A and B are shown apart, each in its own frame.
Chain A
Amino acid sequence: MAVITTALSIATEGAPNPGEVVAASGTFTLTALLIAIPLASAALLLLLGRRADRWGHLLGTLAAAASAVLGVVLLVAMMGQPEDARTIGQSLWTWIDVGSFTADVALQLDPLSISFVLLITIVGTLIHVYSIGYMAHDPDRRRFFAYLNLFIAAMLLLVLADNYLLLYVGWEGVGLASYLLIGFWYRKPSAATAAKKAFVVNRVGDVGLSLAIMIMFATMGTFTFSGVNEAIGSVDPDTTTWLGLALLLAACGKSAQFPLQSWLLDAMEGPTPVSALIHAATMVTAGVYLIVRSNAIFDLTETAQLAVVVVGTITLLMGAIIGTAKDDIKKGLAGSTMSQIGYMVLAAGLGPAGYVFAIFHLLTHGMFKAGLFLGAGSVMHGMNDDVNMRHYGALRAVMTITWATFGLGFLAIIGIPPFAGFWSKDEIIKVAFAVHPVAGVAALLGAGVTAFYMTRMMAMTFHGKARWEPDVHPHESPAVMTVPMMVLALGSVFGGLVLLFVGNIEEWLAPVVGFEKAEPGIPVPLLIGLTMAVVVVGAVIGWRQYAMREVPRMAPTQVSWATRAARADLYGDAVNEAVFMRPGQYLTRTLVWTDNKVIDGAVNGTAAGIGGLSARSRRWQSGYVRSYALSMLLGAVVIGAVLALVRFA
């Protein structure tokens, strides 16, 4: 390992200097296989149909595992390279070549993307294994694994693309897999609705990405990361700001950040392994990846950076507050995911001081949050798929392994040293205090609220009195499910330590994203102490309220306005409805003279000829030939007028 040095000895490195992109050779020519293996497996499983039912889940798991092994091999190979030769490009074929412009299907493997590759493939493989057990009784298990493989392939394409256009392909691909998996139980109306909602909200974000790509093309004529990094310096500042904001909009959609956060809570309708993989560990962090990957753009625009900080701060508080009021264990975790991604986005908005910690927290969060979700799935498995924590209680005795692994994840997320979350979250709070003290205070408070809602969840599920129905017989899950949970629990315990002190994450990522050490205004030990104090206070309040006292089986209805607001997701849906849906409906229904009805000459039996469409006179698309002809005439007059205007003006 070329990178074993202590974290604190890092010299300040200014702007990133990734070195030249080195053409792939030797082991690195295998990069494309990372994507090809799960993609081929997905295609096979979908095409073979029911014939593959017996072994489909095994093939799917093997494909994910093969990618994971390959990922490790590539990591080792990359470590063997000198620091300035770790950005490896592999061009597969020329995709589009029109005029002065070329887009290649080309991959770029560098320290940033390999970190994601390992997270996606290793956590992905564990969740595949877990799903073998979790989905054992589902008649469509093969299809489920096909979608999971499809997701892995698309997500790998997203992080391995060497340009924004190909990234967009992966971006749409993970979206597609995500909708398919949220709506996997489409017989449940709520699942189908949730899939639709995720889809619609994400479209708003996707507009941001396509706008960003068009701006890049219009101003720089290139989409490759290296090309944009080079050319961005000569773009005028306003355009750079718009570019940054468009990218932020894209990130908000995919990463469920304010104001596009509402879909994530509903997405919990999908099977729990999906929530763990896509809606916690990987896909929802794509927005953070996008911002960090575009560091050269954000470094030049303070306005867009500030917007990123604001969005991250608002979301981290919102998510945490929503988490405190949810009785549905998965929705509680979803609120927590929003909040934790808020931390990452906040860090990504802090510039070179924050990028590495955004990714660091993303990696540790991927491990402990996936573990927490799998634990929640295991509890649901034993409780006849009930998700209401008010019906749990005292499960520690009957689900010891789940309790232990969930507990380790709990310690990691609330940030108790030396568990994984402590290292990453603490760094973010530190840097936030150094760069934007207000955001730092919010992050500190958020840590306290996190401790509260996670303790509440822990207490309501595993401690206190048993509140389950007599006909429910909680039991520990089979080994195929508990083993992945145990592996992820190891990540919750050691993930932070290993990444920070063995993997030396700061130095590892610095060549790609840059790193500047930022010192907060108050002494670091004091800040750590303060954070610990806030966390302990939050946890103690949570424990007193939910473990020591009786928890009613029915949610109390006489509650404060704050609780009501948190239960209603802080009115995220109402806001979306007011901001996006109603204007859209208004536009389509009122502004446009439209034809909602279908023409049906045969049904009405009106005489042959022109009358069948007469019902909608006075509207534009009236069905009358005469009004169509009139409109053509007017159009011709307008064109003539414009031509004359151009000529004489």
Chain B
Amino acid sequence: MAKPIEKMGADEILVISRKLFYGGFCLLPLLWVYNILYIWPVRNRADLSPLVRRYLLLSGILAAMLFVYFSVWYGVFVKERLNWGARGDLLTVVLVKGV
């Protein structure tokens, strides 16, 4: 744990935000959420680069898109998995007893 975000310089925050943003593309949408949570308390600081806000915005949008995507996928999976037969069973982590 580094020092709290409130005490960091604007440059440091920018670097963190950028790293987290690009890191999110490695199938890591949680990093985008992480980015937002982390930077949120200082988002309105005067000396902050406007780039930080852009990273945050993009992070939020991308994370929301992935969330929607996975929600849809999961809904489809739950609804259709019994119809997929063996393929559906293969995808299922633990076969649910009963149904």
Are the chains A and B members of one assembly?
no
Please list the residues of chain A having a beta carbon within 8 angstroms of any beta carbon in chain B. none
B interface residues (Cβ-Cβ under 8 A, vs A)? none
